[in-house]
Structure 1
Amino acid sequence: MSQTDSEFQSLREKFYNATVIERIDCHENLARFRIRPDNGVPAFIAGQYVTLGLGYWEPRLSGTQVENVPEKKRHKLIRRAYSISCPLLDDDGQVASIDSLDYLEFYITLVRASSSPDQPPPALTPRLFELQAGDRVEVGKKIVGKYVVGEVDPDATILMLGTGTGEAPHNAMTASLLAAGHRGRIVNACCVRYLGDLGYYPRHLLLMNHFSNYRYLPCTTREPINIDPSMPGYVGKQYLQDLFTSGKLAEAADDPLSPENTHVYLCGNPDMIGYVPPGGDPPATPGLLPLLESAGFLPADHDHESGPGRIRFEKYW
């Protein structure tokens, strides 16, 4: 082992406190990582997040954007926050809630290059996607976050709307609700480009077979049925905003999705959520927040926080 390799190994021993026990590739740019902390999984609430960290000294996946690491960063960690997901079902086909697991599951998209020449190359995911079972990583000391289900009536409707890997906390929420015996409708809708971007799809189908009150609604935007009017079953691009305002979402959910009995959770693309900071200009195409408010729902920080009709959303920006 060279002096440099020895130095990096010492840094791994100093910083890393968890082991990748399994990696499940959905496709080349999407994977589920199961990571076991050395000191066990601390108690946390479904929907919360924690940081993952790797050293700048770790190798990057071949085919990702070249990165020139300054010497002053060479011995430091890159840390990013990720919502904790859930496998939904255990090996016996039973609901796997977060408190039944001895590992943390993460649902991560590989970012191969920055979206703009003005932005630095992505630092963490090109290194994460080099990891295999047995490799080491840092997990943050605290699992935190306010994006949780909160207090809901067991007969209330739960509507979770996400895009891409924004589905992760909703999976954890879904499993926890079902394990607790929630009786009301649970609707988990996720919008992606292609069906292949739904890494948990088969598990959701199994879950629907087990629970008649659960609905998983996959929505796509780039499949042939979304872009080619000549295709049998053509539906156009299925954006969650359009599905909600048109009533198609309520129809597919087999539930009126009324603010009188429905709690709403939003996670994923900021354009889908549609949060406008105070003093900000609203976008030309509104996100779900103003559309939901127009339908009678209220932000969760409103005075009526204790009842149905609330909107909670995760902020990734």
Structure 2
Amino acid sequence: MSEIVDTIPLSAAQIHELKEKYYNATIVDRVDTHRDLARFRIRPDKPFPPFEPGQFVSLGIGNWEQRVPGTQKEELTEKDWAKCIQRAYSISCPVVDSDGKVAPVNSVDYLEFYVTLVRQSGLPGEPPPVVTPRLFGCSVGDRVLVGKKIVGHYTIGKVEPDDTILMLSTGTGEAPHNAMAAELLARNHRGRIVNATCVRNRIDLAYSKEHQQLMEAFSQYRYLQFTTRDPENIDPEHPGFVGKQHLQALFLSGELAKAAEDPLDPAQTHVYLCGNPAMIGYVPPGADPPTTPGMLPLLKDAGFRDDHGYEGPGSIRFEKYW
């Protein structure tokens, strides 16, 4: 078994050589929502050809980079320190440009990523998070690795100009939906576009201002934001108490359709799901269904189709985010 090395066993020259070997992109902007949530805009050295909104690419950063304080300690061998670790991230977009005009993914020369700092592994025995504790230590001008190809099948697909689009996400699962919404609006989609997201706290909504601008510019667009852990969600004595606003409950009660100002009829609605697996509700073959159903069974009960070969109205597309 290789010996654990607590301090970086690399010289400045070796680190420089590793950066030259692996890194191929530059952080050109960083927009922090709070200390654990940020938008990173990264420009690859070589531009990518046009790609589909909703797709993803890998981001990589070397183990030799400093981790931000307050994150889980790692145990690295001498060989580990020289590795560049990659993780896949959906590509978001700025939503609007500096003039307030819609800004889809292919209108800018950088890739935007919507990232949560993962400080600790989620379960006992899981390895510590690797990429985000280092990425959050980066500043504008720092270099990182971007994968060679943008890939993924979670895209808008075949929709008609008057179809209703319903996008449901949790947390940073909003990223691909931002890219899809901007693309649809840029191509003058006429039907209702509903981009609904659920987060723990209102401070976790990084794109609220931009979505408000879109709603003011496009009458067919609705951005719906819901929370589960703010005072009005957990304190029955709060004057604005609404309870925990999980998307599943809002869909079942009809509150989601009411807020969307659309019946969300399967005959003309396409559904997109991205985020927490509990919200999506995908159950692998042979696995026991969860106690609380996710959106997939609720949508199917309402007449939608979970059929990957079908792209018409009533279709459900989903991306399991972790």
> By the TM > 0.5 criterion, same fold?
yes
Name the SS of the counterpart of 2:11 in structure 1.
helix
Equivalent position of 1:311 in the other structure: 316
Kindly indicate whether the alpha-carbon contact (under 8 Å) linking 2:171 and 2:204 is maintained by their aligned counterparts in 1. Answer: yes
1: CA distance, partners of 2:311 / 2:223: 26
Q: CA deviation at 1:3?
A: 6.7
Q: Structure 1: which 5+ residue stretches go unaligned?
A: none
Match of 2:56 in 1: 49
CA displacement 1:125-144 (0-9 Å, x = unmatched): 00000110000000000000
- What is the aligned-residue RMSD (CA, Å)? 1.1
> In structure 2, what is the Cα distance between the partners aligned to 1:163 and 1:196?
14
Q: Match of 2:23?
A: 16
Question: Are 1:285 and 2:292 matched, yes or no?
Answer: yes
Cα separation, partners in 2 of 1:113 and 1:247, compared to 1, 3 Å: same
Return 226-235 or 129-138, whichever deviates more. 226-235
Q: Output aligned runs, 1:1-317, within 5 Å.
A: 4-302=11-309, 305-317=310-322
Q: Give CA-to-partner distance per residue, 1:161-211, whole Å, 9 cap, x none.
A: 000000000000000000000000000000001010000011111110000
Shift of 1:114: 1.4
**Alignment deviations for residues 83-139 of structure 1 (CA, whole Å, 9 cap, x no partner):** 000110001110001111000000000011112331111111000001100000000
TM-score normalised by L of structure 1: 0.97
Distance of 2:190 and 2:115 partners within structure 1: 31
Q: Find the counterpart in structure 1 of residue 4 from structure 2.
A: none
User: Equivalents in 1 of 2:311, 2:248: separation in Å?
Assistant: 25
Any stretches of 5+ residues in structure 2 without a counterpart?
1-8
Q: Per-residue deviation at 1:306?
A: 3.3
Distance 2:254 2:208 in 1: 23
Q: 1:16 to 1:274 in 2, by over 3 A?
A: same
- Partner SS, residue 222 of structure 1: coil
Counterpart of 2:29, as a letter, is: E
Q: Secondary structure at 1:105's aligned position in 2?
A: strand
Q: How many residues align?
A: 314
Q: What percent of counterpart residues are identical?
A: 63
- TM superposition shift of 1:299: 1.0
Higher alpha-carbon deviation: 161-170 or 232-241: 232-241
Residue 232 of structure 1, CA deviation: 1.6
Q: 1:233 to 1:68 in 2, by over 3 A?
A: same
Misfit runs of 4+, over 2 Å: none
What is the TM-score of this pair, normalised by structure 2? Answer: 0.96
Q: How far, CA to CA, are the matches of 1:238 and 1:315 in structure 2?
A: 21
Structure 2: how far apart are the matches of 1:101 and 1:85? Answer: 11
> Following the alignment from structure 1 to structure 2, what is the Cα–Cα distance between the partners of residues 137 and 308?
40
Residues 148 and 173 of structure 1 are in contact (CA less than 8 Å); yes or no, is this contact kept in structure 2?
yes
